[in-house]
Amino acid sequence: METSEIRRRFLQYFEDRGHTVVPSAPLPSPDPNLLFNVAGMAQFVPYFVGQQTPPYPRATSVQKCVRTLDIEEVGKTTRHGTFFQMNGNFSFGDYFKEDAVKFAWELVTKPQNEGGYGFDESVLYASVYYEDDEAIDIWKRVAGLPDDRIVRLGMKDNFWSMGIPGPCGPCSEILIDRGPEFGADRDWEAGDRYLEFWNLVFMQNIRGEGGGKDGYPILGELPKKNIDTGLGLERVAYLLQGVDNMYEIDEIYPVIEKATELTGRKYGAEHEDDVRFRVVADHVRSALMLIGDGVTPGNEQGGYVLRRLLRRAIRSMRLLGYEDPSLVELLPVSLEQMKKSYPELVTDFGRISQVAYAEEEAFRRTLTAGTTIFDVAVRDTKASGAHQLEGAKAFQLHDTYGFPIDLTIEMAAEQGLNVDTEGFRSLMKEQRERAKADARAKKAGHADTSGYRELREKGVTEFTGYQELSSDSQVRGLLREGAVAPFAEQGETVEVVLEKTPFYAESGGQIADEGLILGDGLKLKVLDVQRPVKGLIVHKVEVVEGVLRAGDDVHAAVDHEWRVSACQAHSGTHVVHAALRQVLGPNALQSGSYNKPGYLRLDFAWSSALDPATRSEIEEVANLAVRKDLPVSAQYMTLPEARDWGALALFGETYDEQVRVVEIGGPWSRELCGGTHVKHSSQVGALTVTGESSVGAGVRRIEAFVGMEALHYLGRERALVRLLSENLKARPEELPAKVADLAERLRVAEKELERMRAAQVLEAAAELAKDPKDVFGVQYVGHRAPDGVNGGDLRKLALDVRGRMPSDKPAVVAVLSVNDGKPGVVIALNDLAREWRLKAGDLVRIAAEKLGGRGGGKDDVAQGGGTDAAGADDALSAVEHAIGHQVTG
């Protein structure tokens, strides 16, 4: 049975039994502690913890998940993977244990020709929490399982919680006995014999503080009991498809087959090669799904994980002997398998492949640059007499150049070196902690929303900002540092919830409105507006005058000019997006945006820089749309209707079933959007593109001003042109040629100055070579050149002096100069000095240490520098002392 069919049967089974089929949430997680969704219940957490009222009593879904903790283990075992799918059925205070068991057992054991999975009942077992006698009784009655096929396990194995105080409950798992070849009889914890493939969580309790899986108290029972189940789709697939592991199922194995074809290697012949084939298959599929959900390669958070996955796949193909670009061969194979369950991948594959192929090309360049850095690190390590590459250097290669640590370890071993992996992991841990702290600072977690939930229980906040800019309202409540407070006095900054508000809360790339909230003797300045809990709009305010109390009647007024400019910018973003797609084609899809009054930026999928002509064309198409005075309208519909209608959705966003679609000129621009907009495109005003740049492999960013800000920008540009025209005595149209001429003349003059400076420096070479200092038989020249001599000229001087000295005596030349406040030093040795066991690299490191810096190079010539110019004389003396010590020692 194909994986897509297993998926379809699951959803159909539960839909037929009254469950609402809920689409998978995007892979990027809104939880501040997670980069990606890692469980089927992820999008239902607000219902389980009481933040939101569920819109349906029971639901079913197949959730896309990515787990990244075990990336290094992928392929080494048959269990570890990154992307996986979790089938689940959920009840929010509707049915409980008996129906959950009944549903699961029926679907698992029903014959395949009747719509089930057809598992043999005789090899199925159930595990239960050891105190859950109720569940044991249900398994006996519903499934007819005897006592010897019901396993009691402890809290660590069969009790679920979110890891924080809140809902929890006992679990019950369905296991399959795969036979003695997979492990010992009745050995529940080791081996792969008794494989769990469906976990039923009976969410009935409330837990307190505590660590681990069993180190917390059970405080009581929930008022409403919930069901949360998770069936591992990949596990069921390999059980039903007769293969031993997830890598060999229909959605993954074709990539391995293609990789064997490209590399000429055989899967199943050598464990090391098998690991690499599995890494390739797993990571290519994961990358396909991540990019499909709007993640782009980068150096932070989810983008960093995606980049790592892609680069590990590419590197594995190279280790298998395939040097050519591989993603162009492998990604379409993965698409062919995954499109059966996710047809949207087909329509979006142009963008997905563009991002992936651009990252591969960037990594191929990185391998060249990083290898050079690696070679220098190896040379420095060996020169110092060490046998281990520093963890900091391995981290730099990993973090800056994208070198996987296993690549660094492998290349170091080829050079006879170890790698300080402990130091590397320590630095990686520090980086992850910084990333998590940053994420927590930007998102609101579940643990501290009790105050918001308390106010949310009083009702939703009505948003009136689409129709009006001011509203009479009432203060529903206020919060100080997250806790509900009775009042706030002048000078305090607090959060306020109103019954209704015209203030737009930041979302969809549009920043929050500014304005005032006024009452009897009360004046509040609105600093920010957010939606920390669905249905609740929270205003961060400064109490400018009076005392604020819950229940106050107030008048909320958005700053008119602010909103007008914000609408111009947001509508302008839609216009630029449509212009991009018209000029570049449908693959130029928005992957992120930001707009504030008068300014917009838009990130979009594209692999190369836009030339000036293309930028001008995009700007012209956008302004023609503004000039046409296209109507702007918004209407509500279901999400499937919006998709059928061709509306574009922002990647990574989670949408309700009812969505708002904003049109500009009908189908020319049609996007899902909750932002505020102008009524006609002409109200966007002037639109001028100010920049275009790269923000990552396969992603470009375009920036623009609109309305008065665009006019101000053009005014500044005009004033600059006028100033240049006056200073250069040229008409505006003559400026490009005039500036080019001046630049060429300056280049020629600088080249002549450089030649003269070099000649002046080298004139000193003959005199320096005439009078070397004898240091225990070594002829030593230590010279501080005039300030301003660059490294290249300093090197020429050192080599020239060395060349003029007698070759029948060992000679060492050290020359130093301070350029732009930074000292630099070059040391050159002749052949006889090297025979005396002197090395330029050793000497330059001694000099550079006195300069507060570092140095290195070959045995005959080495160069270094630092930041402490005051140490220049000491540096030359230290070289002289080191020569004497080496010769006499």
pLDDT in tens, 798-845: 999 999 998 899 999 999 999 888 999 999 999 999 999 999 999 999
Same-domain check for residues 403 and 471: no
Same-domain check for residues 475 and 431: no
Same-domain check for residues 618 and 712: yes
755 part of a folded domain: no
750 part of a folded domain: no
pLDDT band at 545 (very low <50, low <70, confident <90, very high): very high
Q: Which of 4-13, 401-410, 747-756 has the lowest mean pLDDT?
A: 401-410
- CA 661 from centre of chain: 28
User: Tokens for 535?
Assistant: 């249905």
End position of a domain, from candidates 534, 558, 582: 558
Number of domains in the chain: 5
Same-domain check for residues 125 and 139: yes
Report, as an integer, the average pLDDT of 112-131: 94
Same-domain check for residues 590 and 646: yes
pLDDT at 94 > cutoff 90: yes
Q: Which of 223-232, 318-327, 516-525, 764-773 has the lowest mean pLDDT?
A: 764-773
Residue 215, Cβ density class (10 Å: 0-12 exposed, 13-18 middle, ≥19 buried): exposed
237 part of a folded domain: yes
pLDDT at 755 > cutoff 80: no
Pair type for strands 194-207 and 218-232: antiparallel
Residue 495, Cβ density class (10 Å: 0-12 exposed, 13-18 middle, ≥19 buried): buried
- The sign of the CA dihedral 79, 84, 87, 90 is positive
Report, as an integer, the average pLDDT of 16-32: 87
pLDDT band at 434 (very low <50, low <70, confident <90, very high): low
Query: Do residues 555 and 514 lie in contact, with contact meaning Cβ atoms separated by under 8 Å?
Result: no
378 part of a folded domain: yes
670 part of a folded domain: yes
Query: Do residues 36 and 294 lie in contact, with contact meaning Cβ atoms separated by under 8 Å?
Result: no
For residue 432, the model assigns a pLDDT of: 67
pLDDT at 559 > cutoff 60: yes
692 part of a folded domain: yes
Q: What is the pTM of this model?
A: 0.69
For residue 165, the model assigns a pLDDT of: 78
Query: Do residues 229 and 100 lie in contact, with contact meaning Cβ atoms separated by under 8 Å?
Result: yes
End position of a domain, from candidates 442, 462, 487: 442
User: Tokens for 85?
Assistant: 């799918």
Q: Average pLDDT of the chain?
A: 89
Report, as an integer, the average pLDDT of 44-71: 85
Same-domain check for residues 126 and 68: yes
Domain harbouring 516, CATH code: 2.40.30.130
Same-domain check for residues 66 and 84: yes
Q: How far apart are CA 548 and CA 492, in angstroms?
A: 10
764 part of a folded domain: no
Q: Mean pLDDT highest for which of 320-324, 588-592, 649-653, 680-684?
A: 680-684
Per-residue pLDDT tens for 709-730? Answer: 999 999 999 999 999 999 999 8
Higher pLDDT, 618 or 650: 618
pLDDT band at 447 (very low <50, low <70, confident <90, very high): very low
For residue 446, the model assigns a pLDDT of: 41
pLDDT at 195 > cutoff 50: yes
Per-residue pLDDT tens for 239-254? Answer: 999 898 899 999 999 9
User: Residue positions in the annotated binding site for Zn(2+)?
Assistant: 570, 574, 673, 677
Domain harbouring 220, CATH code: 3.30.930.10
Domain harbouring 830, CATH code: 3.10.310.40
Same-domain check for residues 513 and 575: no
Query: Do residues 87 and 230 lie in contact, with contact meaning Cβ atoms separated by under 8 Å?
Result: yes
pLDDT at 444 > cutoff 60: no
Same-domain check for residues 420 and 480: no
Q: Mean pLDDT highest for which of 253-257, 422-426, 753-757?
A: 253-257
User: Residue positions in the annotated binding site?
Assistant: 570, 574, 673, 677
Per-residue pLDDT tens for 323-367? Answer: 899 999 999 999 999 999 999 899 889 889 988 998 898 888 877
Residues 6 or more apart whose CB falls under 8 angstroms from that of 220 comprise 205, 206
End position of a domain, from candidates 412, 442, 472: 442
Same-domain check for residues 506 and 600: no
Beta partners for residue 517, in sequence order:
524, 556
Domain harbouring 658, CATH code: 3.30.980.10
759 part of a folded domain: no
Same-domain check for residues 260 and 405: yes
For residue 443, the model assigns a pLDDT of: 43
Percent of the chain with pLDDT over 90: 58
Domain ranges, residue 509: 450-558
Per-residue pLDDT tens for 275-295? Answer: 999 999 999 999 999 999 888
For residue 191, the model assigns a pLDDT of: 63
Amino acid residing at 631:
P
User: What does the DSSP 8-state code read for residue 266?
Assistant: -
For residue 32, the model assigns a pLDDT of: 63
For residue 651, the model assigns a pLDDT of: 60
Residue 415, Cβ density class (10 Å: 0-12 exposed, 13-18 middle, ≥19 buried): middle
Q: From 232, 411, 420, 237, select the one nearest 319 (Cα to Cα).
A: 411
Percent of the chain with pLDDT over 70: 95
For residue 179, the model assigns a pLDDT of: 87
Same-domain check for residues 266 and 224: no
